[in-house]
Amino acid sequence: MDKLPSHAKVVIIGGGVVGCSILFHLAKFGWKDVVLLERSELTSGSSWHAAGQIHTISSDPNISRLQGYTINLYKEIEELSGHSVGMHSTGGFYLASNKDWYDYLKRERSKARYMGLDQEFISIKEAASRHPLIDPSHYIAALWDPLDGDVDPSGVTYAYAKAARIHGARYFTHTPVLETNQKPDNSWDVVTADGGINAEIIINAGGLWAREVGHLAGLHLPVQPMEHHYLITEDIPEIIERDTRLPAGIDYEGNIYFRQERDGMLLGTYESRATAWSVAGTPSDFGHELLAPKLDNIAERLEIGFARIPALGRVGIKNIINGPFTFGPDGNPMIGPVPGMRNYWVAVGVMAGFCQAGGVGLCMAEWLIDGEPSIDVWAMDVARFGDFASPDWGTVKSSENYERRFVMTFPNETLPKGRRQQTTALYDRLVGKGAVMGQSYGLEHALWFADSPEDAYENPTFRRSRAHDFVAREVAAVRSAVGAVEIANFAKHEFTGAGARDVLDHILAGRLPEPGRLALTPMLSPNGRLLGDLTVACFDETHFCLFGSGAAQNMHRRWFDHHCAQRDNVQYRNATERWHGIALSGPRARTLLQRMVRDDVGAAAFRFRDVRQGFVGGVPAMILRVSFSGELGYEIYVAPQYLIRLFEAVESAGVGLGLRLYGARALMALRLEKNWGVWGLDYRPDFTAAEAGLDKFIDWQKTFIGKTAAQQEADRGVTRKLVSMVIDVDGIDVSNDEAIFADGDAVGYVTSGGYAHHIGKSMAFGYVPVSLAKDGARLEVEILAKRYQARVFDLPIYDPSGQRMRD
């Protein structure tokens, strides 16, 4: 056997399908000095006992796209390695047995159109002719995907590893990693019984042992192995008689997935009561082992399976597999550089490795080699979780996610588990006033307000929900009087020190404000893609604060840490938890604010985009004059211990002014008719500043990260642009990801939208070819399989000059 090298650029820990795919992609893209260490044989975690079913459907369009990439990659690794991946390209269908699931499939179909994925509805008769063992009477719709099928899990893992070796990488089996110790130069000493490797970067791809591998470096990952059952039947006569393989299938409402396995069938289910496995930690001696089946847990689902595929009940069960595999809190992988750590990357919580490992390997390799992945990987980025994602919270959420794998989650639905992980001082008061709460980055915030706590519930739906009229009321208060919304969930990033302006000038593409002023700015990646849209406040030349997306705070923190690390004249900290607050919006906001302060906040004294530190309602505060609603607006931030006092001051100063509390839904509706996009939906790394229309904030006179790419793009012109559309609907609105059509062709997809209550119109934003990004252009938007007329509006329909927020 080869001797371990003493040094490597990258050491990957774990030889499951994920680690092997990363090894393959790094070597293929040119990094040869890459080593994978596996404690036993390859596939010794969850990879060897997977059902091997492959499909493209995912909640996130980019993950779907990457699943398509993974499936299409199998031919390449098989040919290169000479190792069979055992692929059966049978195609497969998703079956709906009720209207909600049919709606869900319509949405998936719409999403797939623009991603170039070839899904089509087929009739139930056609589904039954392709799979004669299903009882069609249970179903009302079937969505066909020709990419679906199955692979041999072990074959795939070995094919990746051998193909990686052919590209020049190395892997070592029976080499458990015992320690990972960081050196002063930020490289890692990876310790094994056979010697150590000094690695510039390490990647935790420990799968079932991701938590334990993390502990070696002091990292606590919120992932959890879950027990999972599938069974394999005895041979089925109808299958023996066939000369073609049966397609794969998922029956969501029945909560079963199935495919042909030799001359029998394989049937799996996600139990309604999940069993988290080895919560305290995965045993180090767990090997190629299975767990004792818990038939009681799946009996109910088996009955459903036998009713819907009656042939299953006519033959015996040959084998029941109960194997553990790891889930993350939202069911998606956690990949990328870990915020707060140097040169430590993860690719963990990959619960559908045979659908996703190819895409994970691709993105990890691009990110490592090029500095950024080629598509937005936010849905997989480890930075979407932070300190709040404790191991206990991870177990609770991962279990919930397991149970909901085939359970419908509607766009307006908030999940019940792991709630109140982080709350502000206002939580009980807001709930007492009828708030329907949501959670973002672990923090509770009000979505909208019902009339009372008893009335505060949502009806999950793809259509307009009962929240519609309540949100309308909140919007009306903001447009005509004044509204107050809690804003603890906006991120705040503080930069101090003599080098603060200098470093921010480099990181941010926009012009920095003078002391006492605010500016909006995009933040770009080296390739010119959007990394953030931020509000910068300058208090003095050595003190700046950036306000941005709360959900993205850890991602931004990672970026800021990276760029401040080498500078000793600037200090950066994520100050989000230090500043809670309340925003006031509406024509009477100034009157309300003036009642709470001694200083003059008149239009001349406190101008649009001014920022000041002072006192509001008797407590120390920073006050920004900004607006996300299009009305006169102020954001007031205070330390958390002052929040109740501020809230009480706002309530008493608001008496007689028509003050109403509002929530995130109203905020999202208000910005629609102002043509303002939001981070994570309309603005994200899939797009550039010029495509998003944020290039107007770029300061071309200075140098900044991404300037060359942005300049090149400006010279050649963009091919697509973000547009805002009014849609002629019949009582339904977009949520996001719906296909946009022009002359019958899918030309883009919706990034966000909803009902703009004040103008009384349904609106959507999306990226379309520049030729269509013109005022008045006629498009169509597909909502639940029906196409609606849409018209592009260049200027905001509400207050196009922006005078109301400036007055």
- Asked whether 634 and 484 are in contact (CB, 8 A), the reply is no
Cα–Cα dist 620/127, whole Å: 66
Least distance to ligand FAD, CB of residue 352, Å: 4
* Closest to ligand FAD by CB, 38 or 271: 38
* Closest to ligand FAD by CB, 176 or 640: 176
- Residue of the chain from 52, 630, 685, 753 that contacts ligand FAD (CB under 6 A): 52
Q: Contact between 14 and ligand FAD (CB under 6 A)?
A: yes
* Closest to ligand FAD by CB, 327 or 755: 327
Number of residues in contact with ligand FAD, rule: CB under 6 A? Answer: 40
* Closest to ligand FAD by CB, 45 or 528: 45
DSSP states of 693-748: TGGGGB-TTS--TTHHHHHHHHHH--SEEEEEEEE--SS----S--EEEETTEEEE
Q: Contact between 206 and ligand FAD (CB under 6 A)?
A: yes
* Closest to ligand FAD by CB, 44 or 553: 44
Q: Contact between 47 and ligand FAD (CB under 6 A)?
A: yes
DSSP states of 524-535: E-TTSBEEEEEE
φ, ψ of residue 536 to 5 degrees: the values are -105, 130
Q: Contact between 28 and ligand FAD (CB under 6 A)?
A: no
Least distance to ligand FAD, CB of residue 591, Å: 58
Residue range at the interface with ligand FAD (CB under 6 A); choices 349-357, 370-378, 547-555, 656-664 = 349-357
Q: Contact between 442 and ligand FAD (CB under 6 A)?
A: no
Q: Which tokens sit at 58?
A: 């995912």
* Closest to ligand FAD by CB, 47 or 751: 47
* Closest to ligand FAD by CB, 141 or 208: 208
- Asked whether 695 and 541 are in contact (CB, 8 A), the reply is no
Q: Contact between 40 and ligand FAD (CB under 6 A)?
A: yes
Beta strands in 757-799 (DSSP E): 761-769, 778-783, 786-793
Cα–Cα dist 693/678, whole Å: 12
Residue range at the interface with ligand FAD (CB under 6 A); choices 35-43, 292-300, 729-737, 780-788 = 35-43
- Residue of the chain from 39, 130, 588, 721 that contacts ligand FAD (CB under 6 A): 39
Least distance to ligand FAD, CB of residue 59, Å: 15
Q: Taking the CB of residue 324, how many other CB atoms lie within 10 A of it?
A: 24
State which of positions 283-342 bind ligand FAD (CB under 6 A).
321, 323-325
Least distance to ligand FAD, CB of residue 150, Å: 7
Q: Which tokens sit at 286?
A: 């767990």
* Closest to ligand FAD by CB, 377 or 589: 377
Q: Which tokens sit at 25?
A: 């992609």
Least distance to ligand FAD, CB of residue 555, Å: 22
Residue range at the interface with ligand FAD (CB under 6 A); choices 8-16, 84-92, 454-462, 619-627 = 8-16
Residue range at the interface with ligand FAD (CB under 6 A); choices 200-208, 471-479, 650-658, 799-807 = 200-208
Instruction: Give whole-number Cα distances, 119 to 98, 106, 136, 147, in Å.
Output: 19, 10, 20, 9
Least distance to ligand FAD, CB of residue 324, Å: 6
State which of positions 167-186 bind ligand FAD (CB under 6 A).
176-177
Q: Contact between 13 and ligand FAD (CB under 6 A)?
A: yes
- Asked whether 255 and 97 are in contact (CB, 8 A), the reply is no
* Closest to ligand FAD by CB, 27 or 504: 27
- Residue of the chain from 4, 10, 12, 15 that contacts ligand FAD (CB under 6 A): 15
Q: Contact between 53 and ligand FAD (CB under 6 A)?
A: yes
Q: Which tokens sit at 664?
A: 């995130």
Residue range at the interface with ligand FAD (CB under 6 A); choices 12-20, 159-167, 532-540, 602-610 = 12-20
Instruction: Give whole-number Cα distances, 82 to 16, 74, 160, 441, in Å.
Output: 19, 12, 11, 45
Q: Taking the CB of residue 605, how many other CB atoms lie within 10 A of it?
A: 10
Residue range at the interface with ligand FAD (CB under 6 A); choices 49-57, 132-140, 662-670, 676-684 = 49-57
What is the CB-side half-sphere exposure of residue 267 using CA atoms within 13 A?
A: 30
H or E stretch covering 375: none
How far from each other are the two terminal CA atoms of the chain, in whole angstroms?
76
* Closest to ligand FAD by CB, 14 or 522: 14
Rounded-to-5 percentages of helix, strand, coil across the chain: 30, 30, 40
Q: Which ranges of 515-577 does DSSP label H, i.e. alpha helix? A: 553-564
Cα–Cα dist 731/781, whole Å: 14
What is the CB-side half-sphere exposure of residue 320 using CA atoms within 13 A?
A: 17
Least distance to ligand FAD, CB of residue 27, Å: 17
Q: Contact between 49 and ligand FAD (CB under 6 A)?
A: yes
Q: Contact between 249 and ligand FAD (CB under 6 A)?
A: no
* Closest to ligand FAD by CB, 207 or 497: 207
Bridge partners (DSSP) listed for residue 265: 260
Least distance to ligand FAD, CB of residue 35, Å: 11
Cα–Cα dist 121/106, whole Å: 9
Least distance to ligand FAD, CB of residue 148, Å: 11
Q: Contact between 38 and ligand FAD (CB under 6 A)?
A: yes
- Asked whether 134 and 254 are in contact (CB, 8 A), the reply is no
CA dihedral for 673, 674, 675, 679, sign (positive or negative):
negative
Chain CA centroid to CA 697, Å? 26
Residue range at the interface with ligand FAD (CB under 6 A); choices 45-53, 120-128, 245-253, 679-687 = 45-53
Binding mask 208-237 for ligand FAD (x = CB under 6 A): xx---x--------------x-x-------
State which of positions 144-163 bind ligand FAD (CB under 6 A).
none
Q: What is the DSSP letter of 606?
A: S
Residue range at the interface with ligand FAD (CB under 6 A); choices 246-254, 348-356, 443-451, 701-709 = 348-356
Grouping H, G, I as helix, E, B as strand and the rest as coil, residue 573 is strand
Cα–Cα dist 636/32, whole Å: 53
- Asked whether 496 and 509 are in contact (CB, 8 A), the reply is no
Least distance to ligand FAD, CB of residue 120, Å: 23
Beta strands in 350-465 (DSSP E): 435-440, 443-449
Cα–Cα dist 206/211, whole Å: 8
Cα–Cα dist 456/432, whole Å: 10
State which of positions 352-381 bind ligand FAD (CB under 6 A).
352-355
Least distance to ligand FAD, CB of residue 211, Å: 10
User: Beta strands 170-172 and 530-540: pairing type?
Assistant: unpaired
State which of positions 759-778 bind ligand FAD (CB under 6 A).
none
Under the rule (CB under 6 A), what is the footprint of ligand FAD?
13-19, 37-40, 44-47, 49-53, 176-177, 205-209, 213, 228, 230, 321, 323-325, 350-355
